[in-house]
Amino acid sequence: DQQVKQNSPSLSVQEGRISILNCDYTNSMFDYFLWYKKYPAEGPTFLISISSIKDKNEDGRFTVFLNKSAKHLSLHIVPSQPGDSAVYFCAARKRGGNKLVFGAGTILRVKS
């Protein structure tokens, strides 16, 4: 069963505009939600996380929003830059350990 879903396989955005990546989850036993960025043949790089008790977390150009009632989170990147082009994974951490459940990923292309 897919507990974490990223329904958009890809997203294309113009440089300088906002990129919004979405993620849905089905399990309430997650205590943290994270976003990772990945380039081919490299390991994922952590971007930002949010505790399940928060609604929003910001770090520079990256903001994550969590809607617990809808079991939905989103990552906003403002402004988008060509270097942001990569695969973005949403992940959720199960309580009590470091096990992450990943979504399928969304390919972001930022056009200059």
Partner 1 sequence: KAGVTQTPRYLIKTRGQQVTLSCSPISGHRSVSWYQQTPGQGLQFLFEYFSETQRNKGNFPGRFSGRQFSNSRSEMNVSTLELGDSALYLCASSLALAGSTGELFFGEGSRLTVL
46 binds partner 1 (CB under 8 A): yes
Closest-CA residue to 62 (of 39, 81, 78): 78
Which residue of 13, 23, 64, 100 would you call a contact of partner 1, by CB under 8 A?
100
**Order of strands across the sheet that contains 4-5:** 4-5, 19-25, 72-77, 62-67, 56-59
Which residue of 105, 106, 108, 110 would you call a contact of partner 1, by CB under 8 A?
105
49 binds partner 1 (CB under 8 A): yes
The residues that touch partner 1, with contacts defined as CB under 8 A, are 31-34, 36, 41-46, 49, 51, 89, 91, 93-105
